[in-house]
Every structure is written in structure tokens, then in C-alpha cells.
């Protein structure tokens, strides 16, 4: 079939005024896009990768503090009994009733701090990652494999931003609970010291 010069010219003008976008090329299954990936996007991706690594390190440090809360609380509970025996002697009885309540309150506070430590280690784990359905499609889906490198880079940056944002939130929650556990433990130590001092003065009086 012969095509007139006027028809060719009109198609050329139409292609210039309405260029085909990379997404339309992918949908049509045409030649893969060869556009260059953004240099700025590469910098963003590298920066986000470093920030993600820092947040994962922070997560490990917070979980280690949770473990410290657990072990130190258990050790301090043993210390309660040791100091109580040291102050009361063989009878192991507290003369001051307020001291008894103070020691019991400290004991419960140490147990609460230990529970907070367990909570920090075992909960608040959720953060956003690429779902399991999307990962295989990156190689199985021909349209995604032929994508423009710049679009693929933008998607990768967006995924890292989502992961980083959710991870920072989870780490922030862990940090708050670490502070709560620390304050409970400090209150328990203060209560224990005050109770034993009261008991000691009651025995010396």
C-alpha cells in the first residue's frame, strides 16, 4: 500500500507534537527505554542507604539496652535480698513498716523494668519493606525489567524512604520505652535505698 508524502509529513508532525512517553513504550512492549538514570537520584539512593544502615545500628543498640534492663533488674532484685539480710541480720525482719512497703514497691518496680526490657526486645518490630509479591515481579515482569532506569531508580528511592520512615518511627518508640524502663529502675533503686536507710535508723534508735 502506497503512502502519500502528505500523510508521512502529517505523521512526523504528530510525533513531534505528541511524543511517546517511556511509560507508553513499556505498555506497548516496544524497545526498552535507554534514558540515563538521574545523577541526583543516585546520590539520594546512596544517602538513604547510609541512613538505613545507621537506623538498623540504632535498633540493635536499643534492643541491647532492653537486654541490659532485663539483666540489671534481675541482679538488683538479688541485691535487695542481700542488703535486706545485711541490715536486718539473722532474723531478716524489717522493724519499720514503711521500709517494708518501700522494699516491696522496689521489688515490683524492678520486675516492671524487667518486663519493659523484654517488651523492647520482642515487640515494636514492625517496619515497612517491599512486599513479597513485588520482589519476584522485578525479574518476572518483562515490562518492569525494560523500564527506564530513571523510573526504576525513583521507585527504589521511594521504597527506601518508606522503609526509613517506618524504621525511624519504630526506633523512636523503642527509645521511649527504654527511657520508661530506665526511670522505673532508678525509682526502684531510690526506693530501696530510702527503705533500707529508714530501717537502719529505726534499728539504731
Tens digit of each residue's pLDDT, the chain (205 residues):
444 444 444 444 444 444 434 444 344 444 455 578 888 889 999 999 999 999 999 999 998 998 888 888 888 777 777 776 666 666 656 667 787 788 888 889 988 998 999 888 887 667 777 777 777 787 787 887 788 888 888 888 999 999 999 999 999 999 999 999 999 999 988 888 888 888 777 777 6
How confident is the model at residue 87, as a pLDDT? Answer: 64
The answer to whether residue 171 sits within a structural domain is yes
Is the four-CA dihedral 123, 118, 183, 57 of positive or negative sign? negative
The answer to whether residue 86 sits within a structural domain is yes
pTM of the model: 0.68
Dist CA 57 CA 76 (whole Å): 28
Parent domain of 93: 62-204
DSSP state of 93: -
The answer to whether residue 47 sits within a structural domain is no
How confident is the model at residue 189, as a pLDDT? Answer: 87
Are 150 and 41 in contact by the 8 Å Cβ rule? The answer is yes
The answer to whether residue 194 sits within a structural domain is yes
How confident is the model at residue 57, as a pLDDT? Answer: 94
The answer to whether residue 107 sits within a structural domain is yes
The answer to whether residue 198 sits within a structural domain is yes
Into how many domains does the chain fold? 1
How confident is the model at residue 43, as a pLDDT? Answer: 92
* Element holding 26 (H helix, E strand): helix 22-28
101-104 contacts, C-beta under 8 A, 24 or more apart: 101/195, 102/191, 102/192, 102/194, 102/195, 102/198, 103/191, 103/192, 103/195, 103/196
Dist CA 82 CA 186 (whole Å): 18
> Which residues, 6 or more positions from 153, have their beta carbon under 8 angstroms from its beta carbon?
37, 38, 41, 42, 45
User: In this structure, what C-alpha cell is assigned to residue 50?
Assistant: 547510609
The answer to whether residue 27 sits within a structural domain is no
Of 48, 30, 82, 24, which Cα lies nearest the Cα of 153? 48
The answer to whether residue 197 sits within a structural domain is yes
Amino acid at each position: 500500500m502506497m503512502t502519500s508524502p502528505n500523510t508521512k509529513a502529517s505523521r512526523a508532525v504528530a510525533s513531534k507534537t505528541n511524543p511517546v512517553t517511556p511509560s507508553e513504550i513499556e505498555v506497548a512492549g516496544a524497545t526498552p527505554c535507554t534514558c540515563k538514570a538521574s545523577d541526583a537520584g543516585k546520590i539520594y539512593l546512596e544517602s538513604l542507604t547510609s541512613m538505613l544502615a545507621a537506623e538498623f545500628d540504632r535498633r540493635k543498640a536499643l534492643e541491647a539496652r532492653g537486654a541490659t534492663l532485663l539483666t540489671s533488674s534481675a541482679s538488683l532484685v538479688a541485691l535487695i535480698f542481700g542488703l535486706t539480710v545485711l541490715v536486718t541480720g539473722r532474723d531478716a525482719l524489717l522493724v519499720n513498716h514503711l521500709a517494708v512497703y518501700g522494699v516491696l514497691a522496689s521489688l515490683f518496680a524492678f520486675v516492671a523494668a524487667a518486663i519493659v526490657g523484654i517488651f523492647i526486645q520482642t515487640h515494636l518490630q514492625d517496619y515497612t519493606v517491599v512486599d513479597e509479591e513485588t520482589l519476584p515481579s522485578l525479574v518476572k515482569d518483562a515490562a518492569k525489567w525494560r523500564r527506564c532506569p530513571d523510573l526504576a531508580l525513583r521507585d527504589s528511592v521511594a521504597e527506601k524512604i518508606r522503609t526509613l520512615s517506618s524504621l525511624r518511627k519504630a526506633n523512636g518508640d523503642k527509645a521511649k520505652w527504654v527511657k520508661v524502663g530506665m526511670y522505673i529502675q532508678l525509682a526502684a533503686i531510690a526506693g530501696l535505698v530510702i527503705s533500707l536507710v529508714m530501717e537502719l535508723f529505726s534499728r539504731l534508735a
